[in-house]
Amino acid sequence: MMVKKIVIIGPESTGKSTLCEGLAAHYKTVWCPEYARRYLEERGAKYTYNDLLEIAQGQQRLEDELLKEANAPFYFIDTNQYVMKVWCEVVFEDCHSWIIKQIAERRYDFYLLCDVDLPWVADGLREYPDLAQRQRLAKMYKDILVSSGTPWALISGSPSERLQRAVSVLETAFPKEAFSE
């Protein structure tokens, strides 16, 4: 059986990690955490344009490494290079060519876009408590997904509602017979 790569994206504090963890537990597989969190926790919350390239490369390495442990039918990924592109462009008004190249080369099977309807939670790393800014970022992600050609769904509600909705969306998008050998 082929493992389907499902990316969970969205602005900060929208429940991406919680959703990944819940989906991985539900489907008895692994998930790839956001590398940026570990990087910034180790080095401090201040970062440069070049740090974002290191974070993007670290995310890609971690994603590839954990894919080897994934069990069919799904592998859940908390953010990918689309997030890095938006982050670079919003903060530095530029994006590393390496990130753009990865976007062009990498393929994913489905995206779950987390809505901004959860309350923003400060954690020392998050930068955008303003709802209008979070909505602007969500629109940027939505525009990217609409243009990507890859199927996607918007996920909203409480954490438990998000998990239920995501499972329903995935089971509709990937009927069980699609996984039979």
The CATH number given to whatever domain includes residue 30 is 3.40.50.300
Total number of domains in the chain: 1
Look at residue 180 and tell me whether its pLDDT is greater than 80: no
In a domain, 179, yes or no: no
- Dihedral angle over CA of 133, 134, 137, 138, nearest 10: -140
In a domain, 181, yes or no: no
In a domain, 33, yes or no: yes
Q: What is the pLDDT of residues 120-154, one digit of tens each?
A: 887 767 777 788 999 999 999 999 999 999 999 99
> What span, in angstroms and rounded, lies between the C-alpha atoms of 176 and 137?
34
In a domain, 97, yes or no: yes
Structural domain harbouring 138 = 4-173
Look at residue 178 and tell me whether its pLDDT is greater than 60: no
Q: Which of 1, 3, 10, 18 is nearest to 111 (CA)?
A: 10
> Which band of pLDDT confidence, cut at 50, 70 and 90, is reported for residue 96?
very high
In a domain, 37, yes or no: yes
